[in-house]
Amino acid sequence: MAYSPETQAIRLQTRRTAEMEHSTPLFLTSSFVYHSAEEMASAFTDDSLDINIYSRFSNPTVDEFVTKVCTLEGAEDGVATGTGMAAVFSTFMTFLSQGDHILSASAVFGSTHTILTKYLPKWGIESTYFDMTRPESIEALVRPNTKMLYLETPSNPGLDIIDLALVGDICRRHGILFVVDNCFATPAVQQPIRFGADLVIHSATKFMDGQGRVLGGVVVGRKDLIHELYLLVRNTGPSLSPFNAWVLSKSLETLFLRMDKHAENALHLAKALENNPHVSRVKYPFLPTHPQHDIAVRQMKNGGGIVAFELKGGLEAGQRFLNALQMISMTNNLGDSRTIASHPSSTTHSKLSETDRLAVGITPGLVRISVGLEGIVDIVQDVEQALGRF
Ligand SMILES: Cc1ncc(COP(=O)(O)O)c(C=O)c1O
């Protein structure tokens, strides 16, 4: 019987052991034993054997987490990594070689930007940025050596949205790998593979964990591609710890419920901010004023848990706002049950030049709120009292 994704997120579980546990077991072990020397030898000679050898290669708890993400994203296979950045970097290292070119949205996470501009050139890999808000400009940037197109939608922190089906079509016609960082939406809100993505990346650290406890990453997609990625991860070592995989897999049981509530709270806060005299602009995918609202409602189930807004007073106002908050946490993570406020231009994106920041919509007064699961009255009240002190 084919269960719904909501059910699979809860019921998919490692085969029950002889102990008859109800909650999923945690295989906290570095390696696995063999029944005989012959079995041990064959584990190393026959790659096709479905056998656990060493937890850098595979581990049942990590496999459970990956299988769940594959099911939710509609992917054939997947690989887990120790962090989201390990997932991004391993994907680049597996599929890009010297002389290749990658087309990336300019509005990408700060560390991804650093890999593209600081590290990939060291290995002779070129990158070009495209403007997510001008998808019609993408095709002209494709070169004969373009191997990969990379983007986030919604983007961090500007919440730009791009039409995944449109980009998927360009990539298919040009034979380019289409890679989407789906961290902000999660598969409970958007499944990029349905729109033509070949690989989907997550920082599981965010909404997948959902409670700000562990780091993790995962890449899912086509089986042949994932096999290549698996070999890189297995040999170079950015593997996910079984303990973190156990935490993440348990968290996925509540992913759908949480994302619905994050989105409900976020929409409420976004609407409240629209009427605030200290705020010049509010951005939330499911607000009709969002420039790509029509695309958002087409490809997303809800607007997700992140709201961005612009304070009239610029950089100084951004820092004053954070200092005035009483309940909301001042920290750089996102996707937590606790509401978090951050100020990208003085923190996560401070290494970018002012021009680069402005090009991706990170203005000095931009504040990003990762809306949590607290009572919405308390969230709105804290934001409004902080704004009220201006
Ligand atoms: C969109 C996005 N991608 C990737 C990452 C990197 O993930 P991690 O911190 O787990 O390495 C982040 C982290 O904030 C992110 O927001």
In this predicted structure, what is the pLDDT of residue 390? 73
Write out residues in the chain with pLDDT < 70, as ranges: none
Reading the block at residue 193, the tokens are 């593979």
In this predicted structure, what is the pLDDT of residue 128? 98
Q: Domain boundaries in the chain? A: 5-252, 255-388
Pocket test for ligand 1, best of 91, 109, 160 (most atoms within 8 A of CB): 109
Tell me how far the alpha carbon of residue 109 lies from the centroid of ligand 1, in angstroms.
7
Residue nearest to atom 12 of ligand 1 (CA): 203
Residue appearing with tokens 């920041």:
357
* Non-local CB neighbours of 69 within 8 Å, separated by 6+ positions: 75, 78, 187, 202, 204, 208, 218, 220, 252
Strand order in the sheet with 340-342: 279-283, 306-311, 366-370, 340-342, 329-330
Pocket test for ligand 1, best of 91, 108, 111, 180 (most atoms within 8 A of CB): 111
Q: How many CA atoms lie within 13 A of 208 on its CB side?
A: 30
Q: Strand locations in 199-273, DSSP E?
A: 199-203, 217-221
Options 3.40.640.10, 3.40.50.1980, 3.40.630.30, 3.30.465.10; CATH for 5-252 is: 3.40.640.10
Using alpha carbons, list the distances in angstroms from residue 382 to 213, 340, 378. Answer: 24, 11, 6
212 phi-psi bin (left φ>0, alpha ψ -120 to 50, beta other): left
In this predicted structure, what is the pLDDT of residue 370? 98
In this predicted structure, what is the pLDDT of residue 12? 97
User: How many C-beta atoms surround the C-beta of residue 293 within 10 A?
Assistant: 16
* Host H or E run for residue 78: strand 77-81
In this predicted structure, what is the pLDDT of residue 371? 98
In this predicted structure, what is the pLDDT of residue 356? 80
In this predicted structure, what is the pLDDT of residue 177? 98
Residue nearest to atom 9 of ligand 1 (CA): 84
**What does the alpha-carbon distance between residue 241 and residue 209 come to, in Å, rounded to a whole number?**
14
In this predicted structure, what is the pLDDT of residue 361? 83
Question: Which atom of ligand 1 is the closest one to the Cα of 156?
Answer: 1
Options 3.90.1150.10, 3.30.360.10, 3.40.50.740, 3.50.50.60; CATH for 255-388 is: 3.90.1150.10
Tell me how far the alpha carbon of residue 83 lies from the centroid of ligand 1, in angstroms.
8
Question: Which atom of ligand 1 is the closest one to the Cα of 334?
Answer: 14
Compute φ and ψ for 34, nearest 5 degrees.
Answer: -120, 160
In this predicted structure, what is the pLDDT of residue 315? 84
Inter-helix orientation angle 60-73/242-252, to 10°: 40
Q: Which residues line ligand 1 (CB under 6 A)?
A: 83-85, 109, 152, 156, 181, 183-184, 203, 205, 215, 217
Residue nearest to atom 15 of ligand 1 (CA): 109
DSSP SS3 for 128: strand
Hey, do 5-252 and 255-388 end up sharing a CATH topology, with the first three levels equal?
Answer: no
* Non-local CB neighbours of 135 within 8 Å, separated by 6+ positions: 162, 163, 166, 167
